[in-house]
Structure 1
Amino acid sequence: MRIAGMVSRGVVLLLVMGVAPALAQSDRDELPSLRVLSFNILQGGGDAAGVGFANRDFGGSRHDELAAVIRLSQADLVGVQEDDSSARLLAALGDGWKRRGSIYSRHELTPLHDSKWMTICRVRLPSKATIVIANCHWRPSGYGPFLVQDHLRKHGLPDDLAKFEQQILASSDKTRGDRGYRQTLEAIRPLLAAKETVVLTGDFNEPSHLDWTARAAKDGMDRWVKNATGVPLRFPLRWTGSRLLADAGLQDAYRTAFPDEVRHPGHTWTPPYAENTPGRRPYGDQVLDRIDMIYFAGPRLRVRSAAVIGESRDAADIVYDGRWPSDHRAVLAVFDIVP
């Protein structure tokens, strides 16, 4: 809970994108903005000693640190994954914040849908215009990159990359259930069909096809932290979930701001931890990946910038000075609101 003075050194990489050619730079600078954060806070911010985040290491609670990360981001809207029913995070954020389900906001919220794994709200902006924000958390089982690791350990380099892709995608499929593609798409599609302005935050527990490209397979980093197989973990894989969201009309805010997936991998999973951390595989056996995303759709939003928020300058665009309070980094998108 020790927070005072711990968020003074935030480094923000701001990239103003030319995604709206009709708007001059001076016009974009004058547009109102909306700052959206997606953040998996790990077990509701409670005592997660079983995976290396004991309350005693955070002065008794992680909620103050989690709130400090959110304040550092200067977010207006936050989609929180692994939230719980308590008001502890809301209390730590302080005055001016509202909550509906797993969505926290500085603006008025009207709930449209709230279930254990997905919350959808209408947000009334200061201009009185409204947008819709949805927050989801896809299931972690069948995590594709771990399946790729298993194949490399047992069989080495795949002989048939097309067949290998089919096998990995089939084994990691998240179509069914209340934590998968179908539930999210069934909730989002009517909003898109109605021409609503929509933002979708989430821990998708699956990489993006925009990251695992042929170019990244050729020029990108080995995603395996300490790979002993001799075969780099970098393959072109068209991950199903991100393709389905793109096909529905949603754009990836981070990849819009940083289209070069080799120079800007944007990893949100997972910050380093001690090798003897309970409940976790050795860090050297981890896969570095971007599984926390912010998607958007609608003509009223233009990406101004995006950033990963985390524990070090090597891993993040915005650095939090305190002990990092989650096993995920957070991702921020800043939008211009176009009339």
Structure 2
Amino acid sequence: MSWNLWLGGSPVDGHRDKQLAVLLAADVDVVGLQETAVHAAPELAEALGWFHHSAGENLAVLSRHPVVDTLGDPAVGFYGAAGARIRLDEHPDGTPHELVLWTAHLNYTPYGPYDACFGGLPAAELADREGESGRVREIDGILAAMAPDLAAADRTPVLLVGDFNAPSHLDWTAAAAPLHGGHGPVDWPVSRAVERAGLRDSYREAHPDPVAAPGATWSPVHPRHEDGSGRPEPQDRIDFVLHAGDRLDVLDSTALATGRIAPWPDVAANDWPSDHAAVVTTFRFARRG
């Protein structure tokens, strides 16, 4: 699972219990969190009896399975990435089966779907604006930090999950242009960068057609733009579960937002304690080799 908790969940009453209910109902094994507000991960891990690694004020990994190493800068800022090596089990010959999970959060402004749908910028200018946002620089730095893990991904699978605040070129196709204000194709540079690094988009593997399965994660609480204009909020897939290596087979993937979800600003009583949908991918761990 990848899940942005929305300022730790604070806009929603009883958010910690609601977060626990979501995690238990989803029956997940490993989770990359963003916007943890420092306390979410240790409190959730204690309540679940799980392991965790928290980095800075914003990022964390939760796991049913032992965290055997931590990766990245432990004092990472609000935007960036942090990782953990997780031991799943052991082969009968004593060889450990492990995976590496990195969780990332990229800068939120300027936001490409707003530039496209509200600003009417053409595809070339949208790519330039991504550079201005800092997201391209951020993802390049994250991929550089992940390079040793990615080089060994066929032995130890690698996941990169997170809120990229950027769409995917796999979604903004010519066929899907009506979903994106008439824009498409758009060659979004952040999704291209992770693709070049060898990371595959698990949601698009499970659902190859972006028209039939848009998979929007932003935003279940914002059907209308919050500026009061009444114009529709662009709904987009900006949260991802990406994977590298040949040992993880995608069985299914879903954008998850459940229960009562009233729109902003009347969110305090919502069952779903976030402004993002989570992404949950089910993998089969293939014991190849």
1:111 maps to 2:70: yes
Q: Partner residue of 1:257?
A: 206
1:194 maps to 2:194: no
Q: Partner residue of 2:274?
A: 326
Identity, in percent, stands at: 34
1:335 maps to 2:283: yes
- 8 Å CA contact retained: 2:105, 2:163: yes
Change (3 A) 1:203 1:177: closer
Change (3 A) 1:304 1:177: closer
Q: CA deviation at 1:189?
A: 1.9
Q: Which protein is bigger by CA-based radius of gyration?
A: 1
| Distance across 1 between alignment mates of 2:194 and 2:223 | 35
- 8 Å CA contact retained: 2:4, 2:163: yes
1:67 maps to which of 20, 34, 59: 20
| Distance across 1 between alignment mates of 2:193 and 2:136 | 16
Residue identity matched to 2:114 = F
Q: Partner residue of 1:28?
A: none
1:143 maps to which of 111, 116, 122: 111
- 8 Å CA contact retained: 1:139, 1:179: no
TM-score, normalised relative to structure 2: 0.82
Query: Where does the alignment leave 5 or more consecutive residues of structure 1 unmatched?
Result: 1-36, 47-52, 153-157, 159-163, 224-231, 314-321
Q: Partner residue of 2:4?
A: 40
| Distance across 2 between alignment mates of 1:236 and 1:310 | 28
Partner of 1:305: helix, strand, or coil?
A: strand
Report matched runs for 1:127-206 at 5 Å: 127=90, 128-152=96-120, 164-173=122-131, 176=134, 180-195=138-153, 196-206=156-166
- 8 Å CA contact retained: 1:302, 1:336: yes
Change (3 A) 1:215 1:85: same
- 8 Å CA contact retained: 1:107, 1:123: yes
Q: Which moved more, 1:134-143 or 1:165-174?
A: 165-174
Q: Deviations over 1:163-203 (max 9, x none)?
A: x2111110122685798222211112221123341001100
Query: Where does the alignment leave 5 or more consecutive residues of structure 2 unmatched?
Result: 55-59, 91-95, 261-269
Q: Partner residue of 1:281?
A: 227
Aligned residues: 262
Change (3 A) 1:39 1:93: farther
| Distance across 2 between alignment mates of 1:107 and 1:287 | 37
- 8 Å CA contact retained: 1:213, 1:237: yes
| Distance across 1 between alignment mates of 2:179 and 2:223 | 21
Change (3 A) 1:287 1:333: same
| Distance across 2 between alignment mates of 1:246 and 1:174 | 21
Residue identity matched to 1:118 = A
| Distance across 1 between alignment mates of 2:112 and 2:26 | 30
TM-score, normalised relative to structure 1: 0.71
Partner of 2:214: helix, strand, or coil?
A: coil
Q: Partner residue of 2:258?
A: 311
- 8 Å CA contact retained: 2:100, 2:157: yes
| Distance across 2 between alignment mates of 1:264 and 1:274 | 18
Change (3 A) 1:91 1:212: closer
Q: CA deviation at 1:248?
A: 0.7
Q: CA deviation at 1:285?
A: 3.5
Q: Partner residue of 1:238?
A: 187
Change (3 A) 1:73 1:236: same
Q: CA deviation at 1:272?
A: 3.5
Q: Partner residue of 1:81?
A: 34
Partner of 1:284: helix, strand, or coil?
A: coil
Q: Which moved more, 1:165-174 or 1:327-336?
A: 165-174
Change (3 A) 1:62 1:89: farther
Residue identity matched to 1:167 = E
Change (3 A) 1:68 1:147: same
Partner of 2:161: helix, strand, or coil?
A: strand
